[in-house]
Structure 1
Amino acid sequence: MANLKRRHFLQAAGSTLAAIGLSQMNVRRQGDRYAHALAQPTSRKLALLVGVNQYPAGVTPLRGCLTDVRMQKELLVHRFGFDPANILTLENQAATRQNLLDAFETHLIDQAQPGDVVVFHFSGHGSLVRDPDPIAIANGVEGYNGSLLPYDARLNVTDNQVNDIMGKTLFLLMANLKTDQVTVMLDSCHSGGGTRGDLIMRAVESQVALGDAEPSNAELAVQERWLAELGWSPAELKAQRSRGIAKGVALGSAQANQLAADASFGEGAGQFYAGAFTYALTRYLWQQPGNPPLDRVFVDLARSTRDVANSARIVQSPIYEVEPGRNFGQEPLFFSRPQSPAAEAVVVGTEASGEVKFWLGGVSSQSLAAFESGAIFSVVDGNGHEIGQVEQTRRVGLEGYGTLADSTREQIAAGQLLRERVRGVPTDLTLRVGLDASLGADVETARPQLATFNRIQPVAVDGSQSPHYLLGRMTEQGLAIATADAVRDVGEVGSIGLFTPGLVAIRASFGEPGEPIAAAIQRLNPTLKLLLAGQVLRSVLNSDTSNLNVAVVVQPVDSDLAVGRSVSRGSQGGVVTQRLDDAVQMLQSGSEIVVTVANGEPRNLYVAILAIGSSGSMAVLHPTDWDSPESEPLLEPGQQLTIPHQELGRDSNRDYCANPSEAFHLCLSSSGYAEILTLVSTSPLRDALRGLRQIAAANNTRSGEPIGLQDNDPVNVIDTLLGDIDRTTRGEITVRGGVRGVDTTQLAALSTLIQVVEN
């Protein structure tokens, strides 16, 4: 999506973020600024972290806001060197309006001096409140200001006056800080509240009683007080707000027309709830090894937030803005440089049983299943060197537990960092399918029938089991969501098909209205197998942790513009992210692309490339040459591989997608997202190659052409690939339990996402 100018954003947005001057950018810039801000040497670093899950009756409770606070605190302390004594948290009933305002004043305004770092984070509900002196049109209606809901925001409402904290008030509080090194983070939204599918949205309606929410007299008095402290007139305040944010950097979880998801992740004892944005940001910053500027972090985070939002199955694009006239885009996030090496976890204590307890702040949402048990972490010193190992035995939420490996002679203490060495992908990883209420009485028929499918697990849609997808009937709401998200081929009202947990329809999964539930489930069996294979594949994605020096670039044919770039942690330059450049992240349907893989290792590597469409369709792009099945996947040191191979005598004026030739060309079709998955191993993938050759022969696929996977092929191919990788891993390190080991020194698994739009 093209960037919006700040002026246009302010006119279109109605959130608190817009009220303090935020403009849309991509997530990567957001994260880098946040990291850069935290990294500066200062006399003091202060943080106020607020999370509200439990609101009084009448306001939908949330589930992930306290996790957000914990995520931020662990990150600030263990990665950016904040003193825990300088971090104040307000949670649930403690986060009243007055307590929040008092804490901002006494902990931040009174203490912060010029050059100090200040961080304010809020996770909770947002809304809209009437503004007596507005600066923008909010959600198409003039006269509103975005607001934050403290615990008591909607208690004792009289004449529609609420206890919300308006964006205008937050602007004045920021302006009264004596330092410019300020980072404000808001994980809330201001429209479309309530429940959607298996998700709860962090917003409440602006309607109160019989009219719109109005600011309380106390709120207006607070604004008058801080206006007087600044010596500003109301006209000057309006002019300042129109220019942009008051101080430093402000980051928000979603655009004004999007929803901020309060989502569930994992299952069983490992389940937890969190804000998609906070999870993406903090996880990214744990794993970022260098000290990139905020502009780059925000771009990187676009991919990370999409990763988490995909797990939550909802479109969510963060926004950010910097103080006008300041070059804070080149500063690190939090105005602070990381004080410790990149890591996936940090030791937080030792149990009476002798188990090591650690916080898994750097683990991706899509790979959580690989960190239940059997994973192995390297204990690293301040320079990132391994000094021991911890074998994970269990996980409760984001808290992991494990035992020291026999080779670890030194005792480890709280604060020591852990890096992923081997993840343990369960051999029986399942696809959780939620049974949506739109099925009505057919839920009881669907449950046992789905349970007969191997590794397909039917679950309830009640926020307790984190389904990967939902089975349900198309409704008017579902059609509206599909239209808004430009999803086509979604069937008519009453037809049965698959949705994401955020009720986004899976294209081409719907049958005819009136189709019996039993017939629909049988029809969807192949699609479910494809989705299961994709879920298993994504559990091994490790560009953020792999030590192999590899890079993947996806670009249009005859173009130097890269629409996707995936780089492993072990790559030269230390870039950790899978990156999408905003200006070129979308390609039109019918575009021809090529995938280039570069080997920066001093040894041979072996490459497999797969493509997954937005409907779950899967194809093997490489290897496909059955005349040289052992040598084709090999990529020698310093060499590059381009797929598809470009034939000699190519006509630069010919559209090979519209007028195909005998050679294989990779063309994009249908709107949505296409994903290129690249697996790079230090050992030959012999069993997988044999299996692919058999599938190609059975399907009469010619050598050199991509292999479409169907029926049981996808799961079998992926399981065989993991089996090859597991054998390599076990030759290097001991992996226990019913898992397949994926060693970061032996495998790089990278994903590149492409958005496809219609002409």
Structure 2
Amino acid sequence: MKRRSFLQRAGSVLAALGVGEAGLVMTGNRYYQVLAQPSPRKLAMLVGINQYSGSSLTGCLTDVELQQELLIHRFGFQPSDILVLTDRQATRQNIETAFIEHLSKQAKPGDAVVFHFSGYGSRAETMDEEGERMNEEESLIQNPKSKIQNLLVPVDGVANGVLEETLWLLLRSLDTDAVTAVLDTSYTDLGTGLWGNLRVRSRSVLQSNVSQPQQPAGQPSTEELAFQAQLRLNSKLKTAIPGVVLTAAGPDRQAFEEQLNGVGAGLFTYALTQYLWQATPATTVQVSLCRVAATIEQMVGNKQQPMLVATTDDLSLKTNPKQTSLTYHLFPNSSEADGVVTAVQEDGKVAQLWLGGLPITILASYGVNSLLTLLPPPGSEAVGNSPRQLLIRSREGLKARARIFPLLTGETYQLQPGQLVQESIRVLPRNVGLTVAIDSSLERIERVDATSAFSSIPNVSLVVTGEQPADCVLARVRKSGLLTGEKSSSSPIYYSQYGLFLPGFYLNPNTVGVEGEAVKTAVQRLVPTLQTLLAVKLLRLSGNEGASRLGVRATLEMVAPTEQVLMQRTTVRAIGPAPASDSVSTDLAENAAGMTDSGIISLPIGSRIQYRVHNYSDVPVYFILLGTDTSGNAIALLPPHSFANPSGLETNPLQQQAVGIGETIILPAASSPFKWVLQGPTGLNEMQLILSREPLTQTLAALESTQHPRGDFQRLGILVSPLEVARAVLQDLHQASLPAAETIAATPDSFAFDMNAWATLSFIYQVA
């Protein structure tokens, strides 16, 4: 039988599951008790390599730490059952030997096993044992007895790579089906280690330092082939790979890493572990991938698309929408959290924290004086009605130092390592700006002129490409690889046009100028786009679905051409249980719209949509719906103007819209003549539903003062001054957080947001 490529042999991706994200949540609930059997033991092997010869990565060791803290404090792994190999330890021989000794020889039926790799990926030419011609997808050369195979690059280089086929054999050697392999790497050669403002985790043979001249470049080592042959002699090998494989990038896509507030991290690993810190126990791996894919799409567009691969030869799974499993095949052992106490100092009054549960969008801005609530120590119960809190005094990346707050005279409370923490009050600076990287491919005179032009634009700062985090990149448009989607060449051709890109070189809509445009002219032309991007950044800073204690739930639904539930967002930490789904049909959820390969919901142009919002808190909730469309415009579902005018002014004010206690509303209202129909072009839509205990007075004033379109009913409008509106939203949320936020004595140049006061729910989907 001809050996198929991994994707042919094992491939069943999210799109093939045939249900939307909301459907996955509801469908998965029926299978949790079956799929999550108690595990006698939990084993993990984590591999991260930064220090390669010739070129280095910066985020792989952080990835390992992210996984390690998550597995110990959220999923109950024993530290002694987690084997970590980093940098010099992670040779080919050590990786393969450690897998056999730590995982294969120890794992018993029912055990949960996690294998994680962060590092470079590459490709190698291997011979087909049966001498059959590979099809075009399987072979990039014309040798009928060879094929191109992916490999993981150990610290000793591409020439000593761990072949993909070797990893599958190792996984098949495990005597358990509860297996998760996480691969934060990619294999497509871009000819460069830096792509936009991100580092690429794929490495070509030409980039590597081959230390064995007698070994032909691009071919596996004889030791690797001998090890693989030895594995095949194992009579206990499973016929199919158990469990699931989570990949940071699909075929011909890239896995990226970025500097995040002083610490490098893989986008995929960070997004995955952060979501799992906050996820409720009933979370399937498909839902996790949906949420992770949405986070990554926000940052880099479609350049990186994570995938879930069902590793089995059972082709029936390709059409079976009810094939679900829990992430890591486990229920979390602890409550959802935003971080954990890792060490205690000063007689138990000061804590060292790991904040792996903070959303990636707020990490760079998360400020001192933020307040966290301590959960009871592991194995104990809460005492009294007032849980203790920690005040952050300093922070570096994901690590922070905090003290008990308030610290009372004669205090006897003792912090304990392992205590989980949840956000209570989030402190952010008021002067958050937009960071732009100037692409290194620009000529020196272009960079000088661009720097001069940017210096006159407020709230914008410049950084060196690849060395610091950036919100966008100014670059010339490439003839291939950027606009056309073609595979990049080693000598790219550039147009004499400038555009604005996301950090992973995904072109921002409608930002390309004319041929021959001067760079200073381009910068001035892009000022409105820069303001929109900063507005979006500010709104994302309010994102708190996982941390909010305001009881709200919202769903995105397709109304036409068919009725389908697409996504559901719920504040899981709200006081009191969330109500059962009201008029949202489980049957509708199971027939929801299809997803892209990355798990992003995709809707056709012309679809009619609506949002359904339910308030299960103890107060009326005021709201606004803001976001960006596929053309890059800032948009809002504008509230109607009042008919009554008690002030006697000629201009009627915008209505303060609210959802009453226990009430469910539809946006836009069914009675409104406006129907929300998705328009072209194709691209990404991102909407933020912001709900507050207090009226959004300044937000409505900002809409009024900038002369937005008027009307007597809800309708979609393009924001004239999105930055002014976004700032007003944050000011409203700050005001709604008083007086609780005053307890931390926030400075005048900071916002302080109380998690009891508001919720921001994010909806991201593609229009195609």
Corresponding residue for residue 685 of structure 1: 696
Conservation of the 8 A alpha-carbon contact between 1:126 and 1:203: yes
Q: 2:734 aligns with which of 726, 732, 737?
A: 726
- The gaps in structure 1 that reach 5 residues or longer are 1-6, 155-161, 486-490, 649-661
Q: Secondary structure at the match of 1:741?
A: strand
Q: Give me the whole-angstrom Cα distance separating, in 1, the residues matched to 2:364 and 2:90.
A: 34
Q: Give me the whole-angstrom Cα distance separating, in 1, the residues matched to 2:80 and 2:334.
A: 19
Bigger shift: residues 126-135 or 680-689: 126-135
Q: 2:309 aligns with which of 314, 320, 334?
A: 320
Confirm whether residue 340 of structure 1 aligns to residue 342 of structure 2.
Answer: no
Compute the TM-score of the two structures, normalised by the length of structure 1. Answer: 0.84
Q: Give me the whole-angstrom Cα distance separating, in 1, the residues matched to 2:41 and 2:568.
A: 38
Evaluate the alpha carbon distance shift between residue 405 and residue 574 of structure 1 in structure 2; reply closer, same or farther with a 3 A threshold.
Answer: farther
Conservation of the 8 A alpha-carbon contact between 2:635 and 2:717: yes
Conservation of the 8 A alpha-carbon contact between 1:251 and 1:319: yes
Deviation track 1:493-524 (CA, whole Å, cap 9, x = no partner) reads 21112011111111211211111222221111
Conservation of the 8 A alpha-carbon contact between 1:302 and 1:317: no
Q: Post-superposition shift, 1:344?
A: 0.6
Corresponding residue for residue 585 of structure 2: none
Corresponding residue for residue 260 of structure 1: 255
Corresponding residue for residue 552 of structure 1: 554
Q: Give me the whole-angstrom Cα distance separating, in 1, the residues matched to 2:205 and 2:10.
A: 20
Confirm whether residue 171 of structure 1 aligns to residue 168 of structure 2.
Answer: yes
Bigger shift: residues 76-85 or 630-639: 630-639
- The gaps in structure 2 that reach 5 residues or longer are 141-145, 582-588, 596-600, 645-652
Evaluate the alpha carbon distance shift between residue 19 and residue 665 of structure 1 in structure 2; reply closer, same or farther with a 3 A threshold.
Answer: closer
Q: Post-superposition shift, 1:20?
A: 7.8
Query: What is the letter of the counterpart of residue 333 of structure 1?
Result: T
Q: Secondary structure at the match of 1:497?
A: strand
Corresponding residue for residue 469 of structure 1: 472
Deviation track 1:249-273 (CA, whole Å, cap 9, x = no partner) reads 322222112111122223xxxx221
Q: Give me the whole-angstrom Cα distance separating, in 2, the residues matched to 1:603 and 1:225.
A: 66
Deviation track 1:233-261 (CA, whole Å, cap 9, x = no partner) reads xxxx9xx4xxx42x233222221121111
Q: Secondary structure at the match of 1:174?
A: helix
Evaluate the alpha carbon distance shift between residue 118 and residue 482 of structure 1 in structure 2; reply closer, same or farther with a 3 A threshold.
Answer: closer
Q: Give me the whole-angstrom Cα distance separating, in 2, the residues matched to 1:494 and 1:116.
A: 58
Deviation track 1:571-614 (CA, whole Å, cap 9, x = no partner) reads 755999xx996616222223332222222223211011113124
Q: Post-superposition shift, 1:108?
A: 1.6
Q: How does 1:435-446 map to 2 (within 5 A)?
A: 435-440=438-443, 441-446=445-450
Q: Give me the whole-angstrom Cα distance separating, in 1, the residues matched to 2:403 and 2:35.
A: 33
Q: 1:365 aligns with which of 340, 360, 365?
A: 360
Confirm whether residue 197 of structure 1 aligns to residue 185 of structure 2.
Answer: no
Q: Give me the whole-angstrom Cα distance separating, in 1, the residues matched to 2:154 and 2:704.
A: 60
Considering only aligned residues, what root-mean-square deviation do their CA atoms show, in Å? 3.5
Evaluate the alpha carbon distance shift between residue 287 and residue 582 of structure 1 in structure 2; reply closer, same or farther with a 3 A threshold.
Answer: farther
Q: Secondary structure at the match of 1:214?
A: coil
Conservation of the 8 A alpha-carbon contact between 2:120 and 2:201: yes
Conservation of the 8 A alpha-carbon contact between 2:558 and 2:609: yes
Confirm whether residue 453 of structure 1 aligns to residue 457 of structure 2.
Answer: yes
Q: Give me the whole-angstrom Cα distance separating, in 2, the residues matched to 1:205 and 1:214.
A: 12
Deviation track 1:331-382 (CA, whole Å, cap 9, x = no partner) reads 4332332111000100111356964211111111112134232321111125
Q: Post-superposition shift, 1:427?
A: 0.3
Query: What is the letter of the counterpart of residue 395 of structure 1?
Result: R
Evaluate the alpha carbon distance shift between residue 665 and residue 732 of structure 1 in structure 2; reply closer, same or farther with a 3 A threshold.
Answer: same
Q: Give me the whole-angstrom Cα distance separating, in 1, the residues matched to 2:331 and 2:557.
A: 33
Confirm whether residue 183 of structure 1 aligns to residue 192 of structure 2.
Answer: no
Q: Give me the whole-angstrom Cα distance separating, in 2, the residues matched to 1:70 and 1:170.
A: 22
Identity of aligned residues (%): 29
Corresponding residue for residue 607 of structure 1: 623
Evaluate the alpha carbon distance shift between residue 483 and residue 170 of structure 1 in structure 2; reply closer, same or farther with a 3 A threshold.
Answer: closer
Deviation track 1:112-169 (CA, whole Å, cap 9, x = no partner) reads 2333222211111112222323797555536122211111134xxxxxxx21111222
Deviation track 1:197-247 (CA, whole Å, cap 9, x = no partner) reads 112211122568896622222112112222223278xxxx9xx4xxx42x2
Confirm whether residue 646 of structure 1 aligns to residue 649 of structure 2.
Answer: no
Q: Post-superposition shift, 1:74?
A: 0.4
Deviation track 1:610-637 (CA, whole Å, cap 9, x = no partner) reads 1312443112213232446575412112
Q: 2:535 aligns with which of 533, 536, 551?
A: 533
Q: How does 1:635-714 map to 2 (within 5 A)?
A: 635-647=659-671, 663=674, 665-696=676-707, 699=708, 701-704=710-713, 705-710=715-720, 713-714=721-722
Corresponding residue for residue 633 of structure 1: 657
Q: Give me the whole-angstrom Cα distance separating, in 2, the residues matched to 1:665 and 1:228.
A: 61
Q: 1:72 aligns with which of 61, 67, 85?
A: 67
Q: Secondary structure at the match of 2:123?
A: strand
Query: What is the letter of the counterpart of residue 170 of structure 1?
Result: L
Q: Secondary structure at the match of 2:362?
A: helix
Q: How does 1:562-641 map to 2 (within 5 A)?
A: 562-570=565-573, 572-573=577-578, 583=594, 585-627=601-643, 629=653, 632-641=656-665
Q: Post-superposition shift, 1:443?
A: 1.1
Conservation of the 8 A alpha-carbon contact between 1:551 and 1:567: yes
Q: Secondary structure at the match of 2:388?
A: strand
Q: Give me the whole-angstrom Cα distance separating, in 2, the residues matched to 1:390 and 1:668.
A: 47
Q: Secondary structure at the match of 1:620?
A: strand
Query: What is the letter of the counterpart of residue 320 of structure 1?
Result: V
Conservation of the 8 A alpha-carbon contact between 2:46 and 2:85: yes
Query: What is the letter of the counterpart of residue 255 of structure 2?
Result: A
Query: What is the letter of the counterpart of residue 468 of structure 1?
Result: D
Corresponding residue for residue 404 of structure 1: 404
Q: Post-superposition shift, 1:708?
A: 2.8
Q: Give me the whole-angstrom Cα distance separating, in 1, the residues matched to 2:665 and 2:106.
A: 57
Q: Post-superposition shift, 1:25?
A: 2.2
Deviation track 1:261-314 (CA, whole Å, cap 9, x = no partner) reads 122223xxxx2211122112111111112233xxx3323422223313533554
Corresponding residue for residue 391 of structure 1: 391
Q: Post-superposition shift, 1:560?
A: 2.1
Q: 1:227 aligns with which of 226, 229, 232?
A: 232
Q: Secondary structure at the match of 1:720?
A: helix
Q: Secondary structure at the match of 1:62?
A: coil
Q: Give me the whole-angstrom Cα distance separating, in 2, the residues matched to 1:48 and 1:625.
A: 59
Corresponding residue for residue 287 of structure 2: 299
Bigger shift: residues 474-483 or 422-431: 474-483
Conservation of the 8 A alpha-carbon contact between 1:277 and 1:318: no
Q: Give me the whole-angstrom Cα distance separating, in 2, the residues matched to 1:51 and 1:20.
A: 27
Q: Secondary structure at the match of 2:227?
A: helix
Evaluate the alpha carbon distance shift between residue 387 and residue 700 of structure 1 in structure 2; reply closer, same or farther with a 3 A threshold.
Answer: closer
Q: 1:308 aligns with which of 296, 302, 326?
A: 296
